[in-house]
Amino acid sequence: MPVLTVSQLSHFEQEGYLVVRGLLDPALDLDPVIREYEEVLDKLAEELYAQGRISSTYEELPFGRRLIQICAESGSTHAQYFDFSLPQKGIKADTPFWAGPAVFQTLRNGKLLDVVEALIGPEIFSNPIQHVRLKPPEHLVPKDPKTGQVQLGSTPWHQDTGVLLPSADQSQILTVWFPLWDATIENGCLKVMPHSHEQGLLQHCRRWNGLGIPDQLLNLADGLPLPMQRGDVLFMTQMTCHGSLPNHSQEVRWSFDLRYNPIGQPTGREMFPGFVARSRKHPESELRDPAAWHQLWAETRNRMAREEDPAYNRWGVEDKVCA
């Protein structure tokens, strides 16, 4: 039986995105990731307490409340500590990242890959542009002392091709986004612009909260919020305009942001390591060992700590539309 219906495939092609409701089982697919990250937060809390940056490890608090308290008291969101990618600049030999086994198994989740296969084919590469997003409420997030802006706020309108190098312009990169807890309008769910993938690549400008498309190039009235429950998964083309709403709730908005492309196509970030997630032709080429995946990132960190920061996208600061 097909994984996606004809109607779903048509919706993805015409609208540029597709939400598959209930694709993942919250208990089987998401809770193991949450338990793994509880251990990561334990380790962070112990380190900050030993450094005197927080007055308690707050182990009695549930995960979200604990993270908010630690961020507020330490003056940092510690986003890199949880991420399973590396930052775009200033990588050092001890730059933190988390590439644990539960995260790896999520990247290789068969239900996710079945839909990915239906959209881009059976030879699937796990693109290294991937992130965990732990976004506390904006009114509780520490502000950057230099800019006065919150350290981790809403994401501006952008296209995923816009944050890549031109080498990947012809690649068929699929974005896969899903919340580990319910994503609501109040806590900052994603928003998309249907049909925007038909416009081609738009100008992006550097902003305090990341690369974004200038408002004058968009019909902002077309923006469509996408509230999602645990288990729902969003699939988007690399050209689909999307962003996120601000988190005005009292809770953390937690999500995974993954990419996949056909094997052999440029990833747009060749300095970072991807892997074969599924191959019907050569299943022996699939990476199945989470320790080997972690080692790929550790070796990349060690190498890049000795090199100058590379370029990650095509945009400069001199573009007139960005003034």
pLDDT in tens, 50-76: 999 999 999 999 999 999 999 999 999
Q: In this structure, what token pair is assigned to residue 187?
A: 């806590």
HEC sequence for the chain:
CCCCCHHHHHHHHHHCEEEECCCCCHHHHHHHHHHHHHHHHHHHHHHHHHCCCCCCCCCCCCHHHHHHHHHHHHCCCCHHHHCCCCCCCCCCCCCCCCCCHHHHHHHCCHHHHHHHHHHHCCEEEEEEEEEEEEECCHHHCCECCCCCCECCCCCCCECHHHHCCHHHCCCCCEEEEEECCCECCCCCCEEECCCHHHCCCCCCEEECCEEECCHHHCCHHHCEECCECCCCEEEECCCCCEEECCCCCCCCEEEEEEEEEECCCCCCCCCCCCEEEEECCCHHHCCCCHHHHHHHHHHHHHHHCCCCCCCCCCCCCCCHHHC
The residues near 151 (Cβ < 8 Å, ≥ 6 apart) are 76, 77, 79, 141, 142, 143, 144
**Length of the chain (residues):** 323
Question: Is 198 part of any domain?
Answer: yes
**Where residue 145 sits, what CATH number does that domain have?**
2.60.120.620
User: In whole angstroms, what is the distance from residue 207 CA to residue 156 CA?
Assistant: 9
Would 317 be classed as within a structural domain? no
Alpha-carbon distance 106 to 103, whole Å? 5
Residue 1's pLDDT is 58
Please indicate, yes or no, if residue 57 is contained in any of the structural domains. Answer: yes
Q: Is the pLDDT of residue 184 over 90?
A: yes
Q: In the prediction, which pLDDT does 316 show?
A: 75
Q: How confident is the model at residue 208 (pLDDT cuts 50, 70, 90)?
A: confident
* 315 occurs within a structural domain: no
Residue 313 lies in a domain: no
Q: What is the pLDDT of residues 284-321, one digit of tens each?
A: 999 999 999 999 999 999 999 999 999 888 887 666 67
The owner of tokens 């979200």 is 64
| Residue 212 counted as domain residue | yes
Please state which of the ranges 218-222, 223-227, 315-319 shows the lowest mean pLDDT: 315-319
pTM (two decimals): 0.95
* 126 φ/ψ angles, rounded to the nearest 5 degrees: -80, 105
Is 23 inside a domain boundary?
A: yes
Q: What is the pLDDT of residue 322?
A: 83
> How does pLDDT run across 123-150, given as a tens digit for each residue?
999 999 999 999 999 888 877 777 767 6
Task: Give the whole-angstrom CA distance, residue 154 versus residue 194.
Answer: 20
**Residue 160 located in a structural domain:** yes
Average of per-residue pLDDT values in the chain: 94
Q: pLDDT per residue over 143-167, tens digit each?
A: 777 776 766 778 999 999 999 999 9
Question: Distance of CA 232 to CAs 28, 30, 178, Å?
Answer: 14, 11, 6
Calculate what percentage of the chain has a pLDDT beyond 70: 97
Q: What was the pLDDT predicted at 313? A: 86
pLDDT of amino acid 317: 62
**How many Cβ atoms from other residues are within 10 Å of residue 153's Cβ?**
18
* Domain region containing 79: 6-307
Percent of the chain with pLDDT over 90: 88
Domain total in the chain: 1
